[in-house]
Amino acid sequence: MSNPDLIARVLAGDPQAERELYDAHVDRVHRLAYRMVGDGELAADYTQETFIRVFDRLGTFRGEAALSTWIISIAISVVYNGQRKVKRLREREADLEDAAGATARGAVAEPDLKVRLKQAIDRLPEGYRTVFLMHDVEGYTHQEIGAALGIQEGTSKAQLSRARAKLRDALSAFAGEWVG
Protein backbone atom coordinates (compact mmCIF):
# COMPACT_ATOMS: atom_id res chain seq x y z
CA MET A 1 0.00 0.00 0.00
CA SER A 2 1.32 3.43 -0.89
CA ASN A 3 1.98 6.04 1.74
CA PRO A 4 -0.85 8.40 0.65
CA ASP A 5 -3.40 5.58 0.96
CA LEU A 6 -2.07 4.55 4.32
CA ILE A 7 -2.06 8.12 5.56
CA ALA A 8 -5.60 8.65 4.35
CA ARG A 9 -6.75 5.57 6.23
CA VAL A 10 -4.98 6.64 9.40
CA LEU A 11 -6.55 10.08 9.16
CA ALA A 12 -9.92 8.42 8.69
CA GLY A 13 -9.39 6.69 12.04
CA ASP A 14 -8.65 3.18 10.80
CA PRO A 15 -6.86 1.41 13.69
CA GLN A 16 -5.45 -1.25 11.38
CA ALA A 17 -3.80 1.45 9.30
CA GLU A 18 -2.33 3.04 12.43
CA ARG A 19 -0.74 -0.24 13.33
CA GLU A 20 0.58 -0.71 9.78
CA LEU A 21 2.17 2.69 9.82
CA TYR A 22 3.68 2.01 13.22
CA ASP A 23 5.04 -1.40 12.17
CA ALA A 24 6.57 0.06 9.03
CA HIS A 25 8.61 2.67 10.90
CA VAL A 26 9.04 1.69 14.52
CA ASP A 27 12.28 -0.25 14.11
CA ARG A 28 14.03 2.63 12.41
CA VAL A 29 12.85 5.11 15.03
CA HIS A 30 13.76 2.86 17.93
CA ARG A 31 17.17 2.00 16.50
CA LEU A 32 18.07 5.62 16.01
CA ALA A 33 16.74 6.63 19.42
CA TYR A 34 18.73 3.85 21.06
CA ARG A 35 21.88 4.78 19.15
CA MET A 36 21.49 8.35 20.32
CA VAL A 37 20.78 7.66 24.00
CA GLY A 38 22.10 4.14 24.72
CA ASP A 39 19.33 3.43 27.21
CA GLY A 40 16.47 1.02 26.59
CA GLU A 41 13.93 2.79 28.79
CA LEU A 42 14.61 6.18 27.28
CA ALA A 43 14.69 4.83 23.75
CA ALA A 44 11.26 3.24 24.30
CA ASP A 45 9.92 6.47 25.84
CA TYR A 46 11.18 8.53 22.91
CA THR A 47 9.81 6.05 20.38
CA GLN A 48 6.44 6.15 22.11
CA GLU A 49 6.41 9.94 22.16
CA THR A 50 7.47 10.06 18.51
CA PHE A 51 4.50 7.95 17.37
CA ILE A 52 2.05 9.85 19.53
CA ARG A 53 3.23 13.00 17.77
CA VAL A 54 3.21 11.34 14.37
CA PHE A 55 -0.45 10.37 14.78
CA ASP A 56 -1.34 13.76 16.23
CA ARG A 57 0.31 15.66 13.40
CA LEU A 58 -0.15 13.37 10.45
CA GLY A 59 -2.75 15.76 9.07
CA THR A 60 -0.03 18.37 8.66
CA PHE A 61 2.24 16.08 6.62
CA ARG A 62 2.48 17.61 3.15
CA GLY A 63 4.66 15.00 1.47
CA GLU A 64 7.51 17.42 0.87
CA ALA A 65 9.88 14.77 2.23
CA ALA A 66 9.40 11.03 2.45
CA LEU A 67 7.10 9.94 5.26
CA SER A 68 9.98 7.99 6.83
CA THR A 69 12.15 11.10 6.84
CA TRP A 70 9.35 13.18 8.35
CA ILE A 71 8.93 10.60 11.12
CA ILE A 72 12.67 10.52 11.75
CA SER A 73 12.77 14.31 11.99
CA ILE A 74 10.09 14.12 14.69
CA ALA A 75 12.04 11.39 16.47
CA ILE A 76 15.22 13.47 16.47
CA SER A 77 13.34 16.46 17.86
CA VAL A 78 11.83 14.30 20.61
CA VAL A 79 15.22 12.82 21.49
CA TYR A 80 16.94 16.21 21.57
CA ASN A 81 14.28 17.73 23.82
CA GLY A 82 14.16 14.71 26.08
CA GLN A 83 17.92 14.47 26.38
CA ARG A 84 18.18 18.11 27.41
CA LYS A 85 15.90 17.37 30.33
CA VAL A 86 17.77 14.18 31.17
CA LYS A 87 21.06 16.05 31.01
CA ARG A 88 19.80 18.72 33.41
CA LEU A 89 18.62 16.04 35.84
CA ARG A 90 21.91 14.19 35.64
CA GLU A 91 23.88 17.38 36.20
CA ARG A 92 21.86 18.04 39.34
CA GLU A 93 22.47 14.50 40.53
CA ALA A 94 26.17 14.85 39.79
CA ASP A 95 26.27 18.11 41.74
CA LEU A 96 24.66 16.39 44.70
CA GLU A 97 27.11 13.51 44.50
CA ASP A 98 30.05 15.87 44.31
CA ALA A 99 28.72 17.86 47.22
CA ALA A 100 28.42 14.67 49.26
CA GLY A 101 31.90 13.57 48.24
CA ALA A 102 30.35 10.38 46.98
CA THR A 103 32.36 10.09 43.82
CA ALA A 104 35.47 8.12 44.49
CA ARG A 105 37.74 8.51 41.54
CA GLY A 106 40.42 5.90 41.60
CA ALA A 107 43.08 5.12 39.11
CA VAL A 108 41.52 4.41 35.74
CA ALA A 109 43.02 1.80 33.50
CA GLU A 110 43.87 2.79 29.95
CA PRO A 111 40.67 2.10 28.05
CA ASP A 112 40.65 -0.20 25.11
CA LEU A 113 39.78 0.86 21.60
CA LYS A 114 36.02 0.40 21.88
CA VAL A 115 35.82 2.24 25.15
CA ARG A 116 37.90 5.07 23.74
CA LEU A 117 35.71 5.21 20.65
CA LYS A 118 32.57 5.30 22.78
CA GLN A 119 33.97 8.13 24.85
CA ALA A 120 35.00 10.01 21.73
CA ILE A 121 31.55 9.64 20.15
CA ASP A 122 29.91 10.73 23.40
CA ARG A 123 32.07 13.85 23.38
CA LEU A 124 31.22 14.88 19.82
CA PRO A 125 29.12 18.02 19.51
CA GLU A 126 25.43 17.11 19.28
CA GLY A 127 25.05 17.90 15.57
CA TYR A 128 28.24 16.05 14.52
CA ARG A 129 27.28 13.08 16.64
CA THR A 130 23.80 12.82 15.16
CA VAL A 131 25.11 13.02 11.60
CA PHE A 132 27.84 10.48 12.33
CA LEU A 133 25.42 8.01 13.93
CA MET A 134 22.89 8.43 11.17
CA HIS A 135 25.36 8.09 8.30
CA ASP A 136 28.19 5.85 9.41
CA VAL A 137 26.33 3.69 11.89
CA GLU A 138 22.72 3.56 10.70
CA GLY A 139 23.37 4.03 7.00
CA TYR A 140 21.22 7.08 6.22
CA THR A 141 22.11 9.06 3.11
CA HIS A 142 23.15 12.71 3.33
CA GLN A 143 19.93 13.59 1.54
CA GLU A 144 17.86 11.87 4.24
CA ILE A 145 19.95 13.41 7.01
CA GLY A 146 19.61 16.86 5.50
CA ALA A 147 15.84 16.52 5.25
CA ALA A 148 15.48 15.07 8.75
CA LEU A 149 17.67 17.66 10.42
CA GLY A 150 16.61 20.58 8.27
CA ILE A 151 20.13 21.21 6.96
CA GLN A 152 21.75 21.18 3.52
CA GLU A 153 23.30 17.98 2.24
CA GLY A 154 26.62 19.81 2.06
CA THR A 155 26.33 20.71 5.74
CA SER A 156 25.67 17.09 6.58
CA LYS A 157 28.78 16.05 4.65
CA ALA A 158 30.87 18.71 6.32
CA GLN A 159 29.67 17.74 9.78
CA LEU A 160 30.40 14.09 9.09
CA SER A 161 33.88 14.95 7.92
CA ARG A 162 34.54 16.98 11.09
CA ALA A 163 33.12 14.24 13.26
CA ARG A 164 35.42 11.69 11.65
CA ALA A 165 38.41 13.99 12.06
CA LYS A 166 37.67 14.38 15.75
CA LEU A 167 37.29 10.65 16.17
CA ARG A 168 40.51 10.05 14.29
CA ASP A 169 42.35 12.39 16.65
CA ALA A 170 40.81 10.71 19.66
CA LEU A 171 41.85 7.29 18.39
CA SER A 172 45.34 8.25 17.23
CA ALA A 173 46.87 5.89 19.79
CA PHE A 174 45.22 3.02 17.96
CA ALA A 175 46.29 4.04 14.45
CA GLY A 176 47.85 0.61 13.89
CA GLU A 177 44.36 -0.80 13.71
CA TRP A 178 43.70 0.80 10.34
CA VAL A 179 47.14 1.79 9.05
CA GLY A 180 49.39 -0.75 7.40
Give min distance, CB of 117 to another protein, in A. 6
∠ CA 149-154-160 to the nearest 5 degrees? Answer: 70
Question: Nearest-CA neighbor of 68 among 23, 112, 103?
Answer: 23
Give min distance, CB of 151 to another protein, in A. 21
Nearer to another protein, 11 or 44 (CB): 44
Give min distance, CB of 167 to another protein, in A. 6
Nearer to another protein, 67 or 78 (CB): 78
Nearer to another protein, 12 or 178 (CB): 178
Chain centre to alpha carbon of residue 16 = 28
8-state DSSP, 65: S
At residue 171, the 3 state secondary structure works out as: coil
Q: Which residues contact another protein (rule: CB under 8 A)?
A: 19, 22-23, 26-27, 30-31, 34-38, 40-41, 43-49, 51-52, 55, 78, 81-82, 85, 113-114, 117-118, 121, 132-133, 136-137, 164, 167-168, 177-179
d(CA 96, CA 90) in angstroms, rounded, equals: 10
Nearer to another protein, 64 or 169 (CB): 169
Give min distance, CB of 22 to another protein, in A. 6
Burial category of 26 from C-beta neighbours within 10 Å (exposed 0-12, middle 13-18, buried 19 and up):
middle
d(CA 163, CA 145) in angstroms, rounded, equals: 15
Nearer to another protein, 40 or 63 (CB): 40
DSSP secondary structure string, 49-91? HHHHHHHHHGGG--SSS-HHHHHHHHHHHHHHHHHHHHHHHHH
Give min distance, CB of 52 to another protein, in A. 6
